[in-house]
Amino acid sequence: MRSAVMLTRLFSAPSVLAEPGSCEDGLEARGLDGRTHSDITGEDEEEDEGEEEDGDEDTEGDRPKKRGPKKRRMTQARAERSKLRRQKANSRERTRMHDLNSGLDNLRKVVPCYSKTQKLSKIETLRLAKNYIWALSEILRAGKRPDLVLYVQTLCKGLSQPTTNLVAGCLQLNSRNFLTEQGCFSVPPYHYPCPSGSNAHSLQTHGYCSTYDPGHGSAEYPSPEYEGPFSAGSSLKPQDCGSPDAERSCHYAMRYSAPYAQPAAAHGLGFESGGVRAGAHSQSAMPYHDTQLPHNRPPAYEELNTFFHN
């Protein structure tokens, strides 16, 4: 329905969009839309607030009469009011989108990987947040320390490879150790039951590959729902987070990863991970000097922290 409307608009009203960059006074730069503009310019000025109806439309040429409410003539005054309304609406819409973006910025700060220099895209932020919530829920549900690699894999489901690398780097995992060059999880040989339940499939073949069906997790660690293929590309640099640049860009904004990233002695936390520790960075003792924990931790943080300290 909306598409039809948009198509109609496309073909009926010539777009006179000016450059969108002129955000200060929108319509002043852009002018009115084509239809309104033509209406304005094609008629004489009237000041009687548009009470007069446009009777020409009904009898124009051989075309059938138009149904519905007759279109009011666009007077100069009405055009001005319409223009003002549009400006106000544009301003509100900008404000609304700015609010939305600031909310997304806040979300970026509380998801596992926060980098001021390498900002996650909106969609990646939402995906990562969803995976994060899922992972934390599973931790609470299971009531035991999770496998780090499994945890990271859950976080990275559906994320682009650059984001996956970023998350891995932020979690002190060398992404090369859990992703193959093809972008598939390589360790550990964690087995997800196949949809039919007859065979088990390791992440080696299904984890990050297109054939993986994350909608079917294991009973121990079910997977978040799959949202469809992740974006093929990203503006993020596909750099390995093991690189110094990436490391500098990664902040420990994560309440879950930070305890692991820091020496276990400091937090008394160890993950149940088979080969992960070998794959983890050797410099796991806070290599980032600009590491920051968010000031406003979610309420669940303290509970989780307590949990991992017991």
What's the token pair of residue 264? 């276990």
Under the binding rule (CB under 7 A), the answer on residue 56 touching DNA is: no
Closer to DNA by CB, 95 or 137: give it. Answer: 95
> Least separation, in Å, of the C-beta of 177 and DNA?
22
> Least separation, in Å, of the C-beta of 189 and DNA?
30
Under the binding rule (CB under 7 A), the answer on residue 297 touching DNA is: no
Under the binding rule (CB under 7 A), the answer on residue 229 touching DNA is: no
> Least separation, in Å, of the C-beta of 239 and DNA?
7
Q: Residue 251 pairs with which residues in a beta bridge?
A: 114
How many residues make contact with DNA (CB under 7 A)?
A: 51
State how far the Cα of 308 lies from the Cα of 139, in Å rounded to an integer. Answer: 10
Site string for DNA, 156-175 (x = CB under 7 A): ----x---------------
User: Which residue, chain included where needed, has tokens 């290599």?
Assistant: 287
Query: Which one, of 256, 236, 164, lies nearest residue 203 by Cα?
Result: 164
Query: Which one, of 39, 52, 20, 22, lies nearest residue 79 by Cα?
Result: 39
State how far the Cα of 57 lies from the Cα of 272, in Å rounded to an integer. Answer: 76
Under the binding rule (CB under 7 A), the answer on residue 309 touching DNA is: no
Under the binding rule (CB under 7 A), the answer on residue 13 touching DNA is: yes
Are residues 190 and 202 in contact, defined by beta-carbon separation less than 8 angstroms? yes
Under the binding rule (CB under 7 A), the answer on residue 130 touching DNA is: no
Under the binding rule (CB under 7 A), the answer on residue 15 touching DNA is: yes
Q: Residue 216 pairs with which residues in a beta bridge?
A: none
Are residues 238 and 231 in contact, defined by beta-carbon separation less than 8 angstroms? no
Residues 179-208 that bind DNA (CB under 7 A): none
Are residues 272 and 149 in contact, defined by beta-carbon separation less than 8 angstroms? no
Residue ranges in contact with DNA by CB under 7 A:
1-3, 5-7, 9-10, 13, 15, 17, 19-23, 25-27, 30-33, 35-36, 85-86, 88-94, 96-98, 101, 119, 121-124, 160, 231-235, 237-238
